[in-house]
Amino acid sequence: MLNHSINSSSSRRWFNPLLLALVLIGLNMRPLLTSIGPLLPTLRQATGLSFGGAALLTTLPVLMMGLMALAGGAINRLFSERSAVTLSLLAIGLGALWRELAPGSVQLLMSAVLGGLGIGVIQAVMPGIIKHHFLKSMALVAGLWSAALMGGGGLGAAITPWLMSTGRDWHSALAWWALPALEALLAWWPVSRGLSRLGAAGEHRGPSLLRNRRAWLLGAYFGLINGGYTSLIAWLPPYYMQLGWQPQASGSLLALMTFGQVMGALLLPALARNHDRRPLLLLALMMQLIGFIGLIYLPQTLPWLWVLVSGLGLGGAFPLCLVLALDHLHQPAAAGRLVAFMQGVGFLLAGVTPYLSGLLRDYSGGFVLDWQIHALLVVVLIAITWRFHPHSYRRAFAE
């Protein structure tokens, strides 16, 4: 009888409306970025953007994610989680809709800033919400959130060129992504009523982060991992179009990579059985390394394998990084601040990456040099991972 009660309670927890709303919100975190790559030749021809300029359509939202994450403490003081997520979903929807109304290059860049602002605010507050409301299943819920986030990226890559193939203009295909933001808003508004405010007065705020070496190390670690992701979503379709692939096929390849990310985000956190995240992080990084090596040396041989393996590694590393940071501090608000700081530093670093990759493309005429640099950075990340022993958590924030 007791086991039956526990199982029933577990089922209600996993199928509650709040969790469904988080999944729908997560699906809106990446289409603004991934919808650009498959349309890049058409978009550049219509707007006159260079590769470096086109990279700003990925760089600017990611930079906004970083800035909003660093402002997470101020956001929590000014807004409730309910208001912050609501306004952010509106910003994402308006940013997408803007691309229909004003498809010029400057207006496209401004829409990227507006949408990136909304994405950044949500990513700043969501880890604290997860730890507060799903403490006993934190790793699994973080994995589900990350899987939804990456799944939305795959949908952006696969559906956008299909929308254009049905006769829509490229800017109409991009603007279509306002609809999922509206759906997420309709799901979030009723279930978020009455949620407790994480930044409530009197709650322990935790240690200062600006002078903490572990906080900066986590930020750099997160940023280098996501730099590989932002470069791939920006340049994987153009890379294969340069090799002779059609836009729909190259977009499908990016969607396959995203499918791998979804699987990695679901599977690797589910394998976590203790607080030592290093073995799974090392596995995720090795898969990324194999993927980049395949893209460098055998891009036309089993390309689906290279993008799938790299996707598994990137997808698994993202939630594991979130959980790694959350593990360091016990209080949900303080842990949320650490994750926000990590994401802020990390996304600022990752945001510059696709722009630098675009400059490398303009300089070298191809993308192989960029993939080689990312492979080298993965080796550096493998070395850094060994420093994250659970015994170091308390010591790192007792300094």
pLDDT single digits (tens) 209-267: 888 899 999 999 999 998 988 888 778 888 998 898 887 788 788 888 988 988 998 88
**Alpha-carbon distance 188 to 6, whole Å?**
27
Per-residue confidence band for 306, with pLDDT thresholds at 50, 70 and 90:
very high
With contact defined as beta carbons under 8 Å apart, do 350 and 226 qualify? yes
Cα-based torsion angle of the residue sequence 329, 335, 337, 339 in order, rounded to the nearest 10 degrees: 110
Query: Is the pTM of the predicted complex or chain greater than 0.85?
Result: no
pLDDT single digits (tens) 16-31: 888 899 999 999 998 9
With contact defined as beta carbons under 8 Å apart, do 319 and 146 qualify? yes
Mean pLDDT of the chain: 84
pLDDT single digits (tens) 85-132: 999 999 999 999 998 887 777 888 888 899 999 998 998 888 778 877
Burial 189-215 (b: 16+ CB within 10 A, else e): eebbeeeebbbeeeeeebbebeebebb
Is the pLDDT at 350 greater than 70? The verdict is yes
Is the pLDDT at 1 greater than 50? The verdict is no
State the pLDDT at residue 6. Answer: 39
Is the pLDDT at 67 greater than 70? The verdict is yes
Please name the amino acid found at residue 65.
M
How far, rounded to the nearest angstrom, does the alpha carbon of residue 108 sit from its chain's CA centroid? Answer: 21
Query: First CA to last CA across the chain, in angstroms?
Result: 48
Contacts of 162 (CB under 8 A, 6+ apart): 248
Please name the amino acid found at residue 360.
L
Lowest-pLDDT choice from 83-97, 194-208, 266-280? 194-208
Nearest to 317 by CA among 356, 276, 287: 287
State the pLDDT at residue 399. Answer: 53
Find where tokens 């990925």 sit.
58
What does the DSSP assignment read for 288-308? HHHHHHHHHH-TTSSHHHHHH
Find where tokens 């699987």 sit.
263
